[in-house]
Amino acid sequence: MRARLALLAKDQGGRHTPIFDQYQPRFVASTDGHGDVDLGVAVVRLTDNPMMMPGTEQDVELEPVDASLWGNVTTSLVLGVFEEQQQVGTATILSA
């Protein structure tokens, strides 16, 4: 699936270093009335540039490690991108 990945800058509480192709963060969807849904890890494939700096946005391909957790992910859904308990960005689904 394609997504627009936006990494938070260091001063926004994001990463201090760039990410590279094959980056594997955890994704979380927030739902009304049901809390957060952990979608697990997905491999991020950087298609336009092999490196992405904090504070920037880029279209990427996402490959969920467990696709069964992503069954209800739809176009335009905004997901939180996490490393351990720290949110480091967002991913807006462009095509599911």
**Regarding the domain with residue range 2-95, which homologous superfamily does it belong to in the CATH classification?**
Translation factors (2.40.30.10)
Instruction: Say how far apart CA 70 and CA 53 lie, in whole Å.
Output: 26
CB neighbours of 86 closer than 8 A, spacing ≥ 6? Answer: 13
CA distances from 49 to 28, 56, 84, 86 (A): 25, 12, 25, 24
End-to-end CA distance of the chain: 5
Give the domain ranges of the chain: 2-95
pLDDT in tens, the chain (96 residues): 999 999 999 999 999 999 999 999 999 998 777 789 999 999 999 988 899 999 999 999 999 999 999 999 999 999 999 999 999 999 999 998
Q: Using an 8 Å Cβ cutoff, are 88 and 17 in contact? A: no
27 neighbors 40 (Cβ within 8 angstroms)? yes
